[in-house]
Structures are given as structure tokens and as C-alpha cells.
A and B are shown apart, each in its own frame.
Chain A
């Protein structure tokens, strides 16, 4: 096993496209690091650079302390699981798994033993004679995993390996990959655009945007303390509610003006640098689960008013869509995240700007008495309010 170190790594394609800029991070020995970000953020390029399938323009890439910038893929001792599995269609499952060992000319007996052991680990014993085309998506995925595992490489590289599976199988395989990775203890770099995969699988997450690392940390760190607007909106479903607000002095402390509503901030909500923003426009972020039914909290919690436009009943909870007379936050970061979702999301964001009102999502109890069409207040957990500099997009802390 080995650590993987990126030291100011850049990747610029011949046409001038900058795919990765100044990437500086270390994936520790045995760690599962998830690279996540929207389409085109450079996460797959990072993975391919580790595999040796893309040249590094500048900087240094080290595997197990050894600089591998100019080392051929076959000499890097890494194994990769491709998005489309890249199984050899003319070979049986046995031969697919055995391929990396046969390429290294290991004795046939050893190959047989290792393939059999790997197949048992993945529950593929019954399918060893079958061809990939005769396997289900999940089985193919397991064969691809087997081909990576059998060689006992220093590093596993996984390029969106679950993206071709249906939702149910994806959950199952997510657990299986995590279990295997922990069992084998192999350093793993996992690329995905699915935030759920990133949150549930990663020991740490590296969030990328336009080839630049936005935030690096544990899933909880990224979720609870987003470094900027991009991180705040990329992780979390439904996404964090972001209101444009003006910060001002009010009563004993600070307050924010969101539209026509003045919301006093309890001291627990105020951090060191927030007072420097008095009189300025900022972005106030609240996750849906921190906008709750007023009756569920004691008096004194900040509240926000709106008109209920829709209620989604999910069984365990109700998502209340509140139309709040407040300007939404629209920055390049947010538009990019919206674009990654779909065109309709971008249009909805633009409509909100035109109308000067935005829809915030609050998470109420399942038995909360709320219906569409009426006015409604939502209480905000004061210790869970996020503040962002509107100009830089960075969190105010």
C-alpha cells in the first residue's frame, strides 16, 4: 500500500484547456479519497494522471514517495475500475480477472489460486466461465473490481464505477466497495459526481470545480462547514437555501435583513468576522433540515416568513417549499451547480431573480399541519446559519 501525493499538479491540454490547476493534496496510505464535482471539473483527469493515462503538465505526482510523472501505467502498480468496466469481451470472467497476472507472467498455478480466491471474495465463483456479455450490470462491475483486486496493487483507482447501475444496485455495490476497501486496506481514489456516494463512501472528500480544489475534508466537515458557496450548494439534497441579506446592528447584537424581514441573530449565530460586514450585502445559508416547524423549538429562535407553494410528504418528514420575498443568491458557482443538475434549475434560478422572490425549502415533521397556499413561518437553528462573502463566495468565519 502507498500514499499518493499531488504537489502543485497542473494539467493543460494542447488546445489550452486547463483541466487541473495547482492540485496540492495527499491521499494517505489505506485511505478512501473521493474526488467529487460537477461535469468537467477535472476529477477524471486527476484519476487518469494517477493511472498514467494522462501526462502531467507541471508539478509532481508521487506514489509511495516515488515520483511517477514519467512512469508508464503498467509500471505504476495501480489498478483501475473504469466507468464502463472495460472488460475484455472475448474473454471469460476467469481470464478477465487473470489478465493482470498473466500480463506479468505469473505461474499458472498462482494465477488460478488468486483468481479463485478473488472470485470467492466477490461471489463470482459460479460465473468464471461466462463471458461479460452474459452477466448483469452488477456482476460485470464485480468482475471489474476483481480484476483490480487480484493484483494486490498499491492503489485502486475508481472512475464512477457505479454510474451504470440502477439505483438499488448502486446502494448495494456502494456498501460492497466500502467493505472491500476497508477489508483490503488499499489506498483508493474514487471519482464520482454523485454527492451521496461521496458522502457515504469517502474517508475524505476533495471537492473540485474547474480543476481547482475547493475544499478538502471529511464528509461531515464539508457538509457542516462549507468553505464557500460552491461547496455549500454542491453537497446536500435539497440544497442549502441561500438568501441575499444585509447585515446590520440591531438591539444587542447583529441582525440580517432578508427582503423586508429583519431577523435578529442570537450570539451563537455570530462568529468573529461577521461584524466586519455590517452594512454590506452577504449570503445567508440555511440547510432545509435547519429550517424547522416553529412549534418544535423554543421561543427566541430566528424565524422567517413565507408563503407555502408546495408541500412534499415523504413519509418520515414533509418538505415545505416557502416562497420568501428575498433576493436569491446567484453567482457563477451556483449557476454551475445548477447547470450540472439541469437546464430547468438554471431557469428557475433566473426566474427567482426576475421576480425578486425565492423558494426556500424547510424540513418539517411528518405530522406538521401545513398546506399549500397559506402563510407559514419556519424557525431557523441559530447555530446552523452559514454566512458567505457575496464577492468572493468564501465563508465568513
Chain B
């Protein structure tokens, strides 16, 4: 009896690849044939749903009514005229830029500080990383207590003789956004630290010794050797924190609800409010689409620049 192993190693749908004659490698099944079911499933469940959601951005659907009328670009024109939406966009960009810079600078400093062979380095690293795994809501409620007018922060300021600096941190329109930023940086600096620690561990200690003997100061070594070799870690960390920053939602809702006077309103909070609080599903979908495009454009642009730097371009 002859047994053909081909029947075992080829998925039945691989004939599709064979028929076109493309993607074949020496009579073996086209690799994409194995991935096809997963790709189809992903397209159906994920991207079809996104596409459907995107379609509502061009309608006036309320979310409750059975009818959704096509209104073209009216929702997008409204975004340009909507003061709250423009404030949300500005806040999103300001918060994201400051968040990405602060969280990465702090994360890198923490990684550099804890990479040495201290006996307690693992404990210290765990302590710094712990906030990143905590629930955003739990973190927010703790900080809400700290920032309360009668909370520990103002108490410390009073004790330190800086009573004039006391304020309602989350209640002040000029301070609320930066107060939220402090919470976000506190929570995610440890995460960036992990990216940089992984990057630092891939740099041989010998290079540091070599540059020291070569006459480099620690700062020169950092600038000319460590930082360029951290390029892959920088790319991952900057991209990840950029995506995180643009989509920050839980902490803002829990800390300020977007207030006071829209001072902490972001695109993500506006999407939620317009869709679920004000029942403007079509407008909310338009805002979500703007946010998604913003995320995609900024992430790809940043990724392209960082990859170019990685290659030394």
C-alpha cells in the first residue's frame, strides 16, 4: 500500500495557491494557505467590525433609533466647529507629547539606575514596575485622595511652609491636565523602564570598559554608545507609550471626568461621552475615526523616524 505524506502536510485549500501558480515553493503548499483561515477570521471579526463602526461616522445614528441616515462629512465638519472637540484634540496632543517624553526619560533614568549589580535591584525594579500592573481605576482613586484639597499633598506643602502653593489640583483648570499627567507618568514609567532594561542588557559591558579605556567620560559613553545601541528599545518604548498616551481614558474619567471646564477632555473621553452619554453615536464614531487616524499617522511616522535612526540613517 502506498501512503502519500502529501495529504498530511498540505491543507486542502492549498490548491488555491497551486492553481494560481504563485506562492508555491517546489510543489510544497503555499505558506499563506496555512494562515488563510486565521486571516479570514481576523478580517471578519476585527476589521469588518471596525469598518462597520467607521461607516456610522458618516451617519446621524443616535445609537437607540433603528434608523441611521447617511450625512456625508457633516460629523467631521462639526468636529472642526465644535469647541469641546478642538479642546479635546489639543489636550490629547499636549498630554501625549508630555507623557511620551516624561515617561521615557524617567523610564530610561530608572533603567540606568537599577541596571547595576545592587543586591536589591530586583526588588527596586519590581517596586517601580508594580504601578504598571495595577488597575488604572485603583491608581486613580489613590491619587485622587492624594490630590484632594484636604489630602496628603497639600498637607505636606503646609508642613513644608509652602501653604501658598496649596490648591485643588484636580479642580483647577490650569493645573488639572498636568496633575493627570503626573499620575500617568507615575503609573507607566516602570513599564518604560522594563523596555530600557531589556535594551541595556543586550549591550555588552565590555563596550563600557572599552570606552572608559578609550578615554570617554560616562556622559560621552552614554551619548555615543549606550543611546545609539538602545535604538531598538527606544523604538518599542516610544511607539508603545505614544499609543498608550493617545488612548488614555480610564485615569481621566476616574480622576476628573474630563473637567474642570473640559480642561482634561481628550478625544478618547469625548468619544465615550458623545456616544454613550449624549447618545450621538454617529458623531462619536466620527471622533473615534479621527482618533484612530491620529494614532495611525503619528505611530507610523514615529516608527519610520525611529527605524531610520536605528539603521543609522
B209 within 8 A of A: yes
The reply to whether B215 and A86 form a contact with Cβ atoms under 8 Å apart is no
A216 to chain B, nearest CB (A): 25
A138 within 8 A of B: no
The reply to whether A74 and B206 form a contact with Cβ atoms under 8 Å apart is no
A32 within 8 A of B: no
A303 within 8 A of B: no
Bound-state CA distance A72–B216 (Å) is: 11
Query: Which of B216, B217, B228, B229 lies in contact with A99, CB distance below 8 A?
Result: B216
**Taking each of B211, B214, B224, B312, which has the highest tally of chain A beta carbons within 10 Å of its own beta carbon?**
B214
Contact with A along B207-221 (1 / 0, CB 8 A): 101111111110010
Interface contacts (Cβ under 8 Å), in number, total 63
B225 within 8 A of A: yes
A185 within 8 A of B: no
Across-interface contacts of A104 in B (CB, < 8 A): 215
**Taking each of B211, B228, B229, which has the highest tally of chain A beta carbons within 10 Å of its own beta carbon?**
B211
Bound-state CA distance A99–B207 (Å) is: 12
The reply to whether B215 and A100 form a contact with Cβ atoms under 8 Å apart is yes
Bound-state CA distance A160–B119 (Å) is: 31
Bound-state CA distance A151–B220 (Å) is: 17
- Those 7 A-B pairs whose CB atoms lie nearest each other, nearest first: A86-B210, A100-B214, A103-B216, A86-B206, A73-B212, A103-B215, A74-B215
B204 within 8 A of A: yes
A78 within 8 A of B: yes
Given contacts A86-B206, A86-B207, A89-B229, contact A74 B212 (CB under 8 A): yes
Across-interface contacts of B228 in A (CB, < 8 A): 90
A 41-73 contacts with B by CB, 8 A: 51-53, 72-73
**Taking each of A52, A80, A84, A86, which has the highest tally of chain B beta carbons within 10 Å of its own beta carbon?**
A86
Bound-state CA distance A90–B202 (Å) is: 13
The reply to whether B229 and A103 form a contact with Cβ atoms under 8 Å apart is no
Bound-state CA distance A388–B197 (Å) is: 55
A82 within 8 A of B: yes
Across-interface contacts of B215 in A (CB, < 8 A): 74, 100, 103-104, 151
A79 within 8 A of B: yes
The reply to whether A99 and B224 form a contact with Cβ atoms under 8 Å apart is yes
The reply to whether A53 and B212 form a contact with Cβ atoms under 8 Å apart is yes
Bound-state CA distance A99–B204 (Å) is: 17
Chain B binding surface SS class: helix
A147 within 8 A of B: yes
The reply to whether A74 and B204 form a contact with Cβ atoms under 8 Å apart is no
Contact with A along B141-178 (1 / 0, CB 8 A): 00000000000000000000000000000000000000
Residues on B lying within 8 angstroms of A by beta carbon are: 204, 206-207, 209-217, 220, 224-225, 228-229, 231, 312
B208 to chain A, nearest CB (A): 9
Given contacts A84-B206, A86-B204, A86-B207, contact A147 B214 (CB under 8 A): yes
Across-interface contacts of B210 in A (CB, < 8 A): 80, 82, 86, 88
The reply to whether A90 and B214 form a contact with Cβ atoms under 8 Å apart is no
A117 to chain B, nearest CB (A): 18
B170 to chain A, nearest CB (A): 44
A selection of 10 A-B contacts at a CB cut-off of 8 Å is A51-B213, A74-B212, A74-B213, A79-B214, A82-B209, A84-B204, A86-B207, A88-B210, A90-B228, A147-B214
Given contacts A82-B206, A84-B206, A88-B225, contact A103 B312 (CB under 8 A): no
A 276-318 contacts with B by CB, 8 A: none
Given contacts A74-B216, A90-B229, contact A99 B206 (CB under 8 A): no
Bound-state CA distance A74–B312 (Å) is: 27
Across-interface contacts of A53 in B (CB, < 8 A): 209, 212-213
The reply to whether B213 and A90 form a contact with Cβ atoms under 8 Å apart is no
A35 to chain B, nearest CB (A): 17
B39 to chain A, nearest CB (A): 35
Bound-state CA distance A79–B213 (Å) is: 6
Query: Which of B209, B217, B224, B229 lies in contact with A86, CB distance below 8 A?
Result: B209
A189 to chain B, nearest CB (A): 13
